[in-house]
Amino acid sequence: MTIDRAVLMFAGCMVLLSLALGFYVSPWWYLLNVFVGFNLIQSSLTGFCPAAILFRKLGCPAGVAFK
């Protein structure tokens, strides 16, 4: 799995987790969706993604977006 796909999968899991926690635990968990969304936007504009750095350190091969 490349870093690109790992980042997309991680973001999707975080959104689904945030929705579930917001529905079952507290509506404040919806703020995690806001954070994930802003992080995806800033990553697309700047090329800096903390999750990509983490997955690179874990040994995922580079994809097209994060070289």
Confidence of residue 65 (pLDDT cuts 50, 70, 90): confident
Q: How far does Cα 38 stand from its chain's mean position?
A: 10
With H, G, I as helix, E, B as strand and everything else as coil, classify residue 45.
helix
C-alpha angle with apex 32: 6 to 5, nearest 5 degrees?
Answer: 10
Region class of 47: left (phi > 0), else alpha (psi between -120 and 50), else beta: left
Domain ranges of the chain: 3-57
Radius of gyration of the CA atoms of the chain, in A: 13
The predicted-structure confidence for 15-63, as pLDDT tens digits, reads as follows: 999 999 999 999 999 999 999 999 999 999 998 999 999 999 999 998 8
Confidence of residue 10 (pLDDT cuts 50, 70, 90): very high
Residue 63: per-residue pLDDT: 85
| CA gap 58, 41 in Å, rounded | 24
